[in-house]
Amino acid sequence: MTDPLLEVEDLNVYYGKSHALKGISLSINEGEIYGVIGPNGAGKTTMLNAIAGFVEYDGTIHYDGTDLATVKPQQIVRDGLIYCTEDRDLFPYFSVHENLLMGAQFRTDRDAVQDDLEMVYDLFPRLDERRTQEAETMSGGEQQMLAVGRALMSDPDVLMLDEPTLGLAPVIIQDIGDALETLQAEAGLTILLAEQNSTFALTHADRLSLIETGEIELSGTHDEFHDNEYVREAYVGVH
């Protein structure tokens, strides 16, 4: 068996006296979609922030064999671990096209950047139709597509997504889910997805963890989560 691409071991994060993450461990294999579900304030964002190097932590996080504590956040990005935050962080007055190009700003492989632009426009035809539109005038769903598209322009090996479906209409949620599965199948992308929308995560993830109040309550495969009575009752609303 090959080593996991991303491995989190005994991760603890404190905000002052508040113990936000209490010994989280999980490992993500190359090419899989991994879902982290849990209620408001459970610690999902904190976990992604720790992996991205945005918050201090105890414990270890290895990415492709490298201990991320030894690497600066910019280098983590250059090494292909790309984080699409819940806030999306778009450049509001830049066009769709310009925002996408910003995602490629550290790349030197110009031909591949051009190919990736076309790939993103193929993946999200709504962006293609709006190449010159300012990001701030796009709908929430279109902005989410743009945020994912811009992350893809960084040529990720692992894409971390925080709540990509938050506030979006069902038809757009479907588009985002289809895009993630296409990226997994065709580009071999590894995806770490934090979601309050458990149904979305359960639909698309190969394996999942459930976090409650900073602790992992359950980890397992897609099928194990589907069949788990507690998950079904508390998180999917199926009795």
Asked whether position 41 contacts ligand ATP by CB under 6 A, the answer is yes
As measured in angstroms, the least distance from the Cβ of 219 to ligand ATP is: 16
Asked whether position 198 contacts ligand ATP by CB under 6 A, the answer is no
The secondary structure of 39-70, three-state, reads: CCCCCHHHHHHHHHCCCCCEEEEEECCEEHHH
As measured in angstroms, the least distance from the Cβ of 113 to ligand ATP is: 32
Determine the 3-state secondary structure of 174 from DSSP.
helix
As measured in angstroms, the least distance from the Cβ of 225 to ligand ATP is: 17
As measured in angstroms, the least distance from the Cβ of 111 to ligand ATP is: 38
CA 78/CA 34 separation, integer angstroms: 22
Report which of 62, 65, 29 is spatially closest to residue 188, judged by C-alpha positions.
29
Q: Based on CB atoms, which residue is closest to ligand ATP, 40 or 70?
A: 40
Biggest alpha carbon distance in the chain? 53
Asked whether position 20 contacts ligand ATP by CB under 6 A, the answer is yes
As measured in angstroms, the least distance from the Cβ of 45 to ligand ATP is: 3
Interaction residues for ligand ATP, span 214-233 (CB under 6 A): none
Q: Based on CB atoms, which residue is closest to ligand ATP, 20 or 135?
A: 20
Determine the 3-state secondary structure of 26 from DSSP.
strand
- Residue from 24, 26, 37, 46 binding ligand ATP (CB under 6 A): 46
Instruction: Name the phi and psi angles at 230, rounded to 5.
Output: -65, -45
- Is residue 133 exposed (0-12), middle (13-18) or buried (19+ Cβ within 10 Å)? middle
Asked whether position 40 contacts ligand ATP by CB under 6 A, the answer is yes
| Residues engaged in binding ligand ATP (CB under 6 A) | 15, 18, 20, 38, 40-46, 196
